[in-house]
A and B are shown apart, each in its own frame.
Chain A
């Protein structure tokens, strides 16, 4: 089975963001594998192990592989390497200089996957921490005609029935349980598993794994009519001027209650 994982190269969550121009950030920051995608890669790799164990029992040959796919600049290779250090077998980089919206991204991901093979299942993270569009997995599923579940926190394959059971996280720690037929698209949420940091030998091994580069043009997708486009980007510091509430404990509390009552008007 071919297990695809869509991953994104995003600015480090702790990075300071600066602007290059009125629409783009200065990408001279540390970029790395989107945190939610770590759960996706980890789950894909353990699913592969599970499938291999099953097939070795049945005696069929094993051609199960985990392929990570990323859309981004050349630099996104680093994120593919990180995913391969976590156990993915090879990578596909769809090279583009532009920031693509979710509609185009999902089309390009589909085209690249289709060009490579027939997906048995596709994992993504539940959202990317840079654009937080929360929709690419749904579009990818719709483009393929596959069912989709997002924010998956539990994954139970049922290979004999060619389906999977998942739990998704809902409001206030609630859970929805779904059965999806394979192939399907699953957006990994926090709690699905505990990603392990790759060891040094894993990192070295990942350097030798194959990355296939395709250009956006090669994939030759239909240009969508609909789009979302960033027309302006401004830094949002949210800078505040702190004022200390002083005095002994009872004075502090009196002042605090006064602020909550008179200024914030919440009590």
Chain B
């Protein structure tokens, strides 16, 4: 029987929607026995939610030395070096031969550390996985091609792009396990050579583009950082996160965490509203997988106007405030 481990991510004390999507993905063509890895969270609290999505086993990974201090919002006791070792220990104890995680800042730290240690194959940013065949799909060459990749190895590791796979509830009942990872392992080769001194959480108000359902982005047309307020106001009514083009970042108007594109975040929201940005090849590389693209631009010849679902030709300083007002009235 093939056993699949899934690293669950949390946000504000709840399982992230993207994690449910990942569980649905892990069930595709496999999923005989799914193990949810819950690290430094109260696993019991999330049991029902995970069972509803088809998880057969919940592994509560405890890190006593780190403590389980519950800071609000961020992952308590985050330490990628220790977390990845604890996940490997849980994999070994339960005989896991297939591991899933999200291609998020957390997954980008844990999955490659684990893959490197186990010398196991890993594909990040998968949009589809066929577990029984070991075949995945992802975008290569800056989103310009769609690749089918064969993954070979005794243990296989998949990083899933958040938000592309819909959650699909499938109720089962789950058994609970606990794995306690202790510092006894500190004499493993890497430990001690790398020490996390401090983790400074980011500002959630500007981040989280990766998992946003709706994104409204601004580019050079915003003219300055102050004007991004217009987008934030509108975003409130849309339940959207605010993104930006590289020009807006390079000019110092907004932080780099807001950049969408080839050298920024690669996002897949249901709706992407592009305001005052031209739609360069590099920008498209980060948002062309969006469900619906709406462009607001005063230049009918901008590239974005030729490759979107809807466009409004007009001045964003007229359109955005008017949209915000209409949305506020609709509420």
Hey, which bits of chain A sit against chain B, CB under 8 A?
A: 11, 13-14, 16-17, 19, 25, 35-36, 101-103, 106, 129-135, 137-139, 141-143, 145-151, 165, 169-181, 184, 190-191, 224-236, 238-245, 249-250, 252-254, 256-257, 259-261, 263-264, 266-267
Contacts and interface: CB of A to CB of B under 8 A. Distances in A.
B262 interface: yes
A226 B207 contact: no
Given A226-B153, A267-B237, A245 B311 contact: yes
Given A14-B281, A132-B140, A235-B144, A172 B203 contact: yes
Nearest to B204: A172
Contacts, number: 273
Contact of A138 (B103, B115, B196, B323): B115
A237 to B, nearest CB: 8
Contacts of B195: 178-180
B67 interface: no
Contact of A130 (B140, B282, B288): B140
Contacts of B214: 266
Interface string B142-168: 111111111111110001000000000
11 contacts: A14-B281, A148-B194, A171-B201, A172-B257, A227-B151, A228-B149, A234-B145, A236-B139, A242-B310, A252-B314, A266-B238
A232 B314 contact: no
Interface majority SS (helix, strand, loop, mixed), chain A:
mixed
B202 A171 contact: yes
Contact of B256 (A14, A190, A227): A190
Given A13-B262, A150-B108, A256-B310, A267 B238 contact: yes
Contacts of A191: 256
B196 A233 contact: no
Contact of B152 (A19, A143, A226, A250): A226
A253 B323 contact: yes
A17 B141 contact: yes
